[in-house]
Amino acid sequence: MEINNAGATSSLRLLQICLIFSVLILTYFSPLVRSSSPPELRILSAERRVDLSSHIIRVSLTLKVENIGTSPASEILLAFPPTQVDHLAWIKADAVVGRRKKKSSLPLEVKPSTIEDGPNGTKYYSIFLVNQLGSSESVSVEVLYALTHSLEPFPVEISQSESQLVYYHDSAVILSPYHIKSQETSFRTPSNKVESFTRVEPTAQSGTELKYGPYEDRTSYSYSAVIIHFENNNPFAVVEELIREIEISHWGNLQITEYYKLAHAGARQKGGFSRVEYQSRQPFSGLSSFKHLLAELPPRVHSVYYRDEIGNISSSRLRIGSKKSELLIEPRYPLFGGWKATFVVGYGVPVQDFLFESSDGARYLNYSFGCPLAETVVDKLTVKVVLPEGSEDPSVVVPFQLEQRLEKKYSYLDVVGRTVVVLEKRNVVPEHNSPFQVHYKFNPIFMLAEPLMLVAAFFLFFVASIAYLHMDLAIRKS
Ligand SMILES: *[C@@H]1O[C@H](CO)[C@@H](O)[C@H](O)[C@H]1NC(C)=O
Ligand SMILES: *[C@@H]1O[C@H](CO)[C@@H](O)[C@H](O)[C@H]1NC(C)=O
Ligand SMILES: *[C@@H]1O[C@H](CO)[C@@H](O)[C@H](O)[C@H]1NC(C)=O
């Protein structure tokens, strides 16, 4: 009886302790739980402009965001359907400060965000605010992004004389994890030839503009699929692979060699190509094909060449300017949908235009990333910076994420080989043509390596010939 009673009190004690503990744990963790749930935001007004005039789709999104919760917010989430995230090549966000004429923009950091439970596989990007957004405060942000491979040719095949039509899929309302009070979207098409578009009233078309909205009070994750079918004859120029080799020589030159695998990614060409029809019915034949592309090269470029498997192509034209030079690249035949061309472009530029000394005495290259061809998508870009022999500790500064590794390259007269910094990036658009830097340390003694090698080679040759002559004499004597 007594033992039993003691057992009962001790289990009661245990229960008490358990209770106290669980209360303690709850109070300890509850702030954590609360802060991990997103602060309550609401979008007061949203305006989206989608530019469909090229094959690279550019979207600008202006959002006015209000904090309707009690805790301050430091980030704003952007939601994307999973099909769009794979084609998202570039994104940038700015905070808009001031009003009207005094308006200025402040760049904000944008990063992919990993929120697991997005409905229907929604993917997120986070915009990090510089100043926290307090309760009932609001902020205006402007987001720009570019999508590639998002226009689907339909019909899939066209003949030489037909125009190219494409489908674009999107939503009439903006996909967002927040409630949107008022919003409007406009799509700009390259011409006013729009075959069809989904109506989500109010919808209006005027000229090259298709307007959806204004829509009021859409709950979070609202989505309303629309398909636009329209004419787009712009060159669908896609470089499936581009390797750019930048070789630094401290002897005054920067040698650039670019290996292109270019394709026309539009509607496939049906039937054979008739040059007679192509030439006699210009500009109505081969509307969606392209004859040439413009490459923007640095000013002061020299020794430019352009060749394919057959040999040098002399039809290219070069215009040298003080700010930039332009090279008109003209393949041997016009490119139709599904056709490909491989070629090499090479040029030299003065090293002093791109190679500098940093404050710590190290050297750095400052050159443009991306592809010199205008309005082109690069599926896979590899930039190889070949450092001079004897360079050490290379480090790269690039304003976006990419893969990097080091390789070694040996060319004639090299003793220890050259370090090659290899940078790789997929899905590259013209917005990636921004400067990047490769810093490295260099021992000037290596400047003498090549001439010394040459001198040594001559000296050896000289000694060998003397020895040979002596031998010869010796033989004749006997
Ligand atoms: C998710 O997908 C289902 C079926 O495809 C659809 O009915 C629903 O509206 C979608 N929900 C959201 C939030 O997009
Ligand atoms: C092509 O042009 C480059 C540079 O002008 C020259 O060095 C090369 O010999 C040429 N090749 C042929 C096959 O003509
Ligand atoms: C690199 O060059 C660009 C112009 O081409 C210039 O605006 C930028 O300041 C340079 N960056 C560095 C770190 O020198």
Q: What count of other Cβ atoms lies within 10 Å of the Cβ of residue 390?
A: 22
Q: What is the CATH number of the domain that holds 355?
A: 2.60.40.1730
Q: Is the Cβ atom of 220 under 6 angstroms away from ligand 1?
A: no
**For the CA of 434, the nearest ligand:** 3
Ligand 1: residue whose CA is nearest its atom 7: 120
**Stated pTM of the model:** 0.82
Q: Is the Cβ atom of 167 under 6 angstroms away from ligand 1?
A: no
Atom of ligand 2 nearest to the CA of 312: 1
Ligand 1: residue whose CA is nearest its atom 10: 120
**Span 193-208, pLDDT tens digits:** 999 999 999 999 999 9
Domain co-membership, 289 together with 396: yes
Domain co-membership, 346 together with 297: yes
Atom of ligand 3 nearest to the CA of 397: 13
Ligand 3: residue whose CA is nearest its atom 3: 435
Atom of ligand 3 nearest to the CA of 437: 13
- Percent of the chain, pLDDT > 90? 61
Strand 268-269 relative to strand 157-158: parallel, antiparallel, unpaired? parallel
Q: How far is the CA of 312 from the centre of ligand 2 (A)?
A: 6
Final residue before a domain boundary, out of 231, 253, 274? 231
Determine, yes or no, domain membership for 381.
yes
User: pLDDT tens track of the chain, all 478 residues?
Assistant: 444 454 445 555 655 654 445 544 444 444 444 344 556 899 999 999 999 999 999 999 999 999 999 999 999 999 999 889 999 999 999 999 887 778 889 999 999 998 877 788 899 999 999 999 999 999 999 999 999 999 999 999 988 888 899 999 999 999 999 999 999 999 999 999 999 999 999 999 999 999 998 999 999 999 999 999 999 998 899 999 999 999 998 778 999 999 999 999 998 888 777 777 777 766 666 778 888 899 999 999 999 999 988 888 876 789 998 899 999 988 888 888 899 999 999 999 999 999 998 888 889 999 999 999 999 999 999 999 999 888 889 999 999 999 999 999 887 767 778 999 999 999 999 999 999 999 999 877 666 666 666 777 777 877 887 777 776 655 555 4
Determine, yes or no, domain membership for 460.
no
Ligand 2: residue whose CA is nearest its atom 13: 311
Domain co-membership, 102 together with 224: yes
Q: How many domains are contained in the chain?
A: 2
Domain span at residue 407 reads 237-442
Domain co-membership, 250 together with 202: no
Ligand 1: residue whose CA is nearest its atom 11: 120
